[in-house]
């Protein structure tokens, strides 16, 4: 559905994205993940035809974004970083306008607007001036605007920014419910969002793709590692020192206080047993010991920041 | 073409449901309600003088010259400052509030965007010209009015408004700041009249001809006198097309930042 080849964008001398290559098939929900300034929004702007790439090309549904922009734009619903809403319009009128702009046939406009309002829970404010809405509601109007034309491809740049937790959950549900009929790309820094909604992640850092895989594969990337969360009754000043004798320990991080630690281990259950017996033996008062799988967050941090920060959270 | 229509409707509604437009209409009617009776009064005194002294040039005795043309020059002056106020936001505001993203990612061409906005601006200018036309219409209950030349004269001022709208739309497309767009627009509108002054300051016969040809005032005066000349119409249309084209180029170029 979406094909990106050698996509490069230079803002003057600054290279925002550098030779991106990926393809997304119909019905996929893909998360764009990356720290600030990674180039997520830039990539999305190029795919939507908002701006031209410096090199390389992108195509949507077989149409080149650059050579056939109108065909591409007909198929895309786009939520930019700042929702493109007119403050002096009423929610309903605005959505009607967007639907007309996206060439929804006249007789279907009312239905599409109603549908979009329902899906984004805007029923209560549909007759209000956008100017008077709160930030979260404006964001929802932005999402409604993207889905109002029932596009084949949805491109959402940080769709849940500024929403309350309940709404975040609802938008995630919405995105899940759209999967299958729509191809969706969403960008975010929030990992649970990707885990909750996407099947595939593309992690971008400094304009380059550092990982592209299914969530499943990424989170089990480094097998044979175990992370232990421990909670003790007594505080320990230097856990690193305490555990220094054990070869299987590869990392120690302090938690909220000197009584909570997470410990990264290499090896199998035996290593866990050794650590627990050591802590008990020293009389620290072991209250809790929970093994945690390395989650996406770690993978993300390792892939993006880990390269620069010495030691890092890895 | 449907894209043009959608944008046209939205922008026209934007004008007519906005207080700015009505404030401008209010301003225009205040100015005319004040100036127009004075003109009318002067004219009636002139007529009286004529009856008594016979010393007044013939052409001043026409209500067309005596009242309507003066009103038109006031209207022109108003339009120089009022059209920029209407058009300043058309692109600048969209860019600033990032709603431009929506337009640029919708299946409409830059040409359609510019046309939709330009036609809407014309609709607003037309409203103001019609408002001004009400005064001569009201006068027609008191005096006999020659309708043909009157309408042609108002068509002329409408075309001048169209030229302003095109230039000012272009000015708005250049910036994100509405105030900058306004100031640039006024400068455009004023300076186009200075081209006309060239006819008076230039010496050579040929240079004068050229200036005459590109001056707004010489083409407007033809219309204002009630005669439609094709080269005049072509002149107005070509300026309008030129600036709409430039605005289209600017919109298109925003994809290339
Ligand atoms: N209009 C612009 N002019 C110059 N540089 C820009 C422009 N837009 C973005 N950049 C630069 O391009 C790089 C990528 O920006 P982009 O907005 O794509 O990042 P992002 O991944 O969306 O970040 P965020 O998570 O903060 O939204 C950044 O270094 C940014 O400074
Ligand atoms: Mg971004």
Distance A300 CA to ligand 1 centre (A): 19
> Would the pLDDT of A307 be above 60?
no
A287 touches chain B (CB under 8 A): no
Within chain A, all domains assigned CATH 3.30.70.100 are found at 225-292
> Would the pLDDT of A47 be above 80?
yes
How far is the C-alpha of B224 from the C-alpha of A277, rounded, in Å? 103
B257 touches chain A (CB under 8 A): yes
- The string of pLDDT tens digits covering residues A94-117 is 999 999 999 999 999 999 999 999
- The SS3 of residue B99 is coil
Least confident of A264-268, B57-61, B151-155: B57-61
What's the pTM? 0.83
Residue from the list B3, B6, B257 with its beta carbon closest to the beta carbon of A51: B257
**Which pLDDT score is estimated for A109?**
94
Q: How confident is the model at residue A314 (pLDDT cuts 50, 70, 90)?
A: very low
Class of domain A225-292: alpha beta
| Average pLDDT, rounded, for chain A | 85
Least confident of B127-141, B146-160, B202-216: B202-216
Q: How confident is the model at residue B55 (pLDDT cuts 50, 70, 90)?
A: low
DSSP string, B192-229: HHHHHHHHHH--SHHHHHHHHHH-HHHHHHHHHTT---
- The string of pLDDT tens digits covering residues A228-251 is 888 888 888 888 888 887 778 877
Question: Which range has highest mean pLDDT (A170-174, B174-178, B209-213)?
Answer: B174-178
Alpha-carbon distance values, B81 to B24, B68, B231, B241 (Å): 10, 20, 27, 21
Classify the C-alpha dihedral B93-B98-B101-B102 as positive or negative. negative
Asked whether the ipTM of the predicted complex exceeds the cut of 0.95, the reply is: no
> Would the pLDDT of A59 be above 90?
yes
According to DSSP, residue B54 is labeled: -
> Would the pLDDT of B127 be above 90?
yes
How far is the C-alpha of B131 from the C-alpha of B138, rounded, in Å? 11
Residue from the list A52, A74, A97 with its beta carbon closest to the beta carbon of B107: A74
Which of the two residues, B216 and A70, has the higher pLDDT score?
A70
A55 touches chain B (CB under 8 A): no
Domain boundaries, chain B: 2-256
A11 and B97: CB-CB below 8 Å?
A: no
- The string of pLDDT tens digits covering residues B75-114 is 888 999 999 999 999 999 999 999 999 999 999 999 999 9
**Which pLDDT score is estimated for A313?**
41
Distance A133 CA to ligand 2 centre (A): 23
Contacts of A55 in chain B (CB under 8 A): none
What is the CATH T-level fold of the domain A2-218, as seen in this structure? Answer: Rossmann fold (3.40.50)
How distant is the Cα of B105 from the closest Cα of chain A, in angstroms?
Answer: 5
Is the C-beta atom of A41 inside 6 A of ligand 1? yes
**Which pLDDT score is estimated for A297?**
66
Least confident of A151-165, A291-305, B65-79, B186-200: A291-305
Within chain A, all domains assigned CATH 3.40.50.300 are found at 2-218
- The string of pLDDT tens digits covering residues A187-234 is 988 777 887 788 888 988 888 888 787 766 665 545 567 778 888 888
B104 touches chain A (CB under 8 A): yes
- The string of pLDDT tens digits covering residues B8-46 is 999 999 999 888 899 999 988 998 888 888 888 887 787
- The string of pLDDT tens digits covering residues A65-88 is 988 899 999 999 999 999 999 999
Which of the two residues, A241 and B64, has the higher pLDDT score?
A241
């Amino acid at each position: 559905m979406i094909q990106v080849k050698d996509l490069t964008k230079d803002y003057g001398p600054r290279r925002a994205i550098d030779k991106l290559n990926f393809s997304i098939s119909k019905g996929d929900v893909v998360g764009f993940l990356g720290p600030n300034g990674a180039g997520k929004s830039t990539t999305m702007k190029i795919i939507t035809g908002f701006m031209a790439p410096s090199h390389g090309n992108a195509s949507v549904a077989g149409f080149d974004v650059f050579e056939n922009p109108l065909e591409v734009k007909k198929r895309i619903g786009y939520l930019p970083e700042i929702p493109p809403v007119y403050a002096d319009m009423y929610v309903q009128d605005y959505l009607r306008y967007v639907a007309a702009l996206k060439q929804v046939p006249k007789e279907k406009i009312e239905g599409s607007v109603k549908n979009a309002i329902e899906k984004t829970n805007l029923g209560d404010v549909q007759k209000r001036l956008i100017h008077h809405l709160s930030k979260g509601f404006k964001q929802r109007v932005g999402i409604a605007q993207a889905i109002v034309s029932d596009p084949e491809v949805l491109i959402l740049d940080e769709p849940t920014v500024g929403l309350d937790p309940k709404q975040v959950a609802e938008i995630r549900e919405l995105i899940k419910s759209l999967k299958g009929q729509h191809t969706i790309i969403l960008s975010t820094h929030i990992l649970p969002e990707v885990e909750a909604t996407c099947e595939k992640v593309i992690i971008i850092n400094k304009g380059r793709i550092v990982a592209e895989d299914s969530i499943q594969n990424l989170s089990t990337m480094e097998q044979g590692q175990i992370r232990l969360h421990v909670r003790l009754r007594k505080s320990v000043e230097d856990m690193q020192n305490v555990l220094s004798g054990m070869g299987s320990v590869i990392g120690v991080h302090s938690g909220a206080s000197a009584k909570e630690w997470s410990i990264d281990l290499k090896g199998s259950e035996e290593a866990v047993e050794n650590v627990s017996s050591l802590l008990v033996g020293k009389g620290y008062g072991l209250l809790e010991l929970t093994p945690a799988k390395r989650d996406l967050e770690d993978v993300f941090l390792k892939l993006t920041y880990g390269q620069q920060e010495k030691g890092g959270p890895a | 073409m449907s894209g043009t229509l959608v944008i046209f409707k939205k922008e026209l509604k934007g004008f007519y449901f906005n207080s700015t437009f009505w404030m401008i209409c209010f301003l225009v009617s205040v100015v005319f309600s004040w100036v127009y009776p004075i003109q009318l009064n002067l004219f009636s005194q002139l007529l009286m003088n004529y009856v008594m002294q016979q010393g007044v040039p013939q052409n001043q005795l026409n209500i067309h010259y005596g009242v309507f043309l003066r009103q038109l020059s006031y209207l022109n002056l108003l339009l120089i400052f009022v059209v920029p106020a209407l058009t300043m936001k058309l692109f600048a505001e969209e860019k600033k509030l990032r709603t431009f993203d929506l337009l640029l990612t919708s299946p409409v061409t830059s040409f359609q965007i510019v046309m939709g906005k330009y036609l809407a601006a014309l609709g607003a200018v037309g409203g103001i010209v019609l408002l001004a036309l009400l005064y001569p219409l009201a006068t027609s209950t008191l005096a006999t009015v020659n309708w043909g030349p009157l309408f042609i004269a108002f068509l002329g001022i409408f075309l001048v408004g169209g030229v302003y709208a095109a230039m000012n739309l272009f000015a708005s497309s250049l910036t994100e700041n509405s105030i900058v767009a306004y100031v640039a627009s006024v400068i455009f509108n004023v300076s186009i009249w200075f081209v006309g002054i060239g006819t008076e300051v230039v010496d050579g016969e040929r240079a004068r001809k050229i200036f005459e040809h590109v001056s707004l005032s010489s083409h407007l005066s033809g219309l204002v006198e009630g005669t439609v000349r094709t080269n005049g119409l072509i002149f107005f249309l070509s300026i309008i097309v030129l600036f709409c084209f430039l605005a289209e180029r600017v919109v298109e170029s925003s994809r290339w930042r």
